[in-house]
Amino acid sequence: MEHAYSQDSDPALSSGQVEKTVQNPILEDPDFRALVKQRRIFSWSMTALMLSVYFGFVLSLAFIPATLGTPIVEGQPMTWGVPIGFGMLAFTTLLVAVYVWRTNTCYDPKIKTIIRSFEK
């Protein structure tokens, strides 16, 4: 994971300019790498959870549409699909809230600690 930042404004680096690049030591820090790995696992887990809920809903529409089209109360127009749809919206909002909470309480303090360790 080697990243280099150009000294001048040219985005493309020639072989002669590679020697002028500045290495970012934070990217090589084991604590930073562990944090990136931890955050990546958490993000992909949240993504898989969200995709499974949405694909589950779409697949239920495809294979058992009569179940979602069944009225909640006989003779009334609201079907089970409506509260399930609102439930998906609430679930999405909950996942966003959990992600933001975890970022603010776990990842941000660790990032600040890592950056402070390099400012000394």
Give residue-wise pLDDT tens across range 59-92: 999 999 999 999 999 999 999 999 999 999 999 9
The pTM of this model reads 0.70
* pLDDT tens readout for residues 97-112: 999 999 999 999 999 9
Q: What is the pLDDT of residues 3-30, one digit of tens each?
A: 555 555 556 666 656 555 667 888 888 9
75: left (phi over 0), alpha (psi -120 to 50) or beta: left
